[in-house]
Amino acid sequence: MTMNSCCYMCDLPGTTVEHVPPRSIFPESKDVGGQDYRKNLITVLSCPAHNNQKSHDDEFLMVSLAGIIGNNSIGYQHKFTKVDRAIRRSANTLLNKAVTKKQKVTKIRLDNNRFIDVISGTPDVTRLLQCFDRIVRGLHQHHFSQQLKGEVQVLLGYLFYSDPSSKNFTQFVADKVVLELDGKPRFGENQEVFYYQITDPDQYNLFLFRLCFYGGLNIYAAVLPEGVKRPFDLGSELINLGVKTIITLGEKSYEIN
């Protein structure tokens, strides 16, 4: 059995097909005026265990992403149609799992006859990180025709961080990725819903995925391939120790801690 015939997550035979990212992220044509956003979706081989294991996470991810402020109109249409139907069927269970600590609900008027409820709260970050870890591994399998057995570190770039340190660090990563991805191609057939980009490997053979959903939600995932030693970075060590650190990028400075 060749590596390409294995599951993208393990060494078992890949006997089922997995969409990466999940098919549920892409709106159905009936909900977006007949536009087909489900054409030529990315798929990889998966073993039944890993395919079935993530079935509940697919709906969770769909509810967690659609309708977030910063999405394009397709994301909002998806929220008001398929996502709301799924939430109603679950008697709000899906929404309660996506936002674990609701802080407030604000009603915003769109026009004379339409309103939306904006919910602020704490998302289930641990589960989101697991979802995006699997997506990155699937995209790696698709892009390089090779299973990723190394480490993935995910940063949710679309979240609002209340503390200045986290906010500044996330902004630093976003700005750095913009520079590194300048001129790099965007991959994916339905880019108004999803596309990804990959940076060139650095001197340590580390590289980074940028995932973009609904035109405005960015997720950054650093990949450390198996067998590559993690480089020592004084700045990262100081940040992890809670020491006040100033990072510079071009003419901009970012204060951490």
- For residue 187, give the DSSP letter: B
The confidence score (pLDDT) of residue 98 equals 81
Average pLDDT over residues 66-76: 83
The model carries a pTM of 0.88
Give a yes or no: residue 42 inside a domain: yes
Domain assignment present for residue 160? The answer is no
Q: How high is the pLDDT of residue 1? A: 46
Residue 53 forms part of a structural domain: yes
Q: What is the pLDDT of residues 168-207, one digit of tens each?
A: 888 988 998 999 999 999 999 999 999 999 999 888 888 9
Q: What angle do CA 179, 162, 92 make, to 5 degrees?
A: 105
In a domain, 54, yes or no: yes
Q: What is the pLDDT of residues 8-63, one digit of tens each?
A: 999 999 999 999 999 999 999 999 989 999 999 999 999 999 988 787 889 899 98
In a domain, 82, yes or no: yes
Residues spanned by the domain of 22: 3-125
* Distance (Å, whole) CA 89 – CA 77: 18
Q: Give the sign of the dihedral formed by CA 233, CA 235, CA 238, CA 242.
A: negative
The answer to whether position 219 is within a domain reads no
**Average pLDDT of 79-98?**
83
Ordered alpha helix ranges (H), the chain: 48-53, 55-65, 73-78, 84-89, 93-98, 125-144, 164-180, 234-240
pLDDT per residue over 89-126, tens digit each?
887 788 777 877 655 555 555 555 655 555 566 788 89
Residue 199 lies in a domain: no
Number of domains in the chain: 1
Examine residue 248 and state whether it is found in any structural domain, yes or no. Answer: no
Output the CA torsion sign for 158, 159, 164, 170: negative
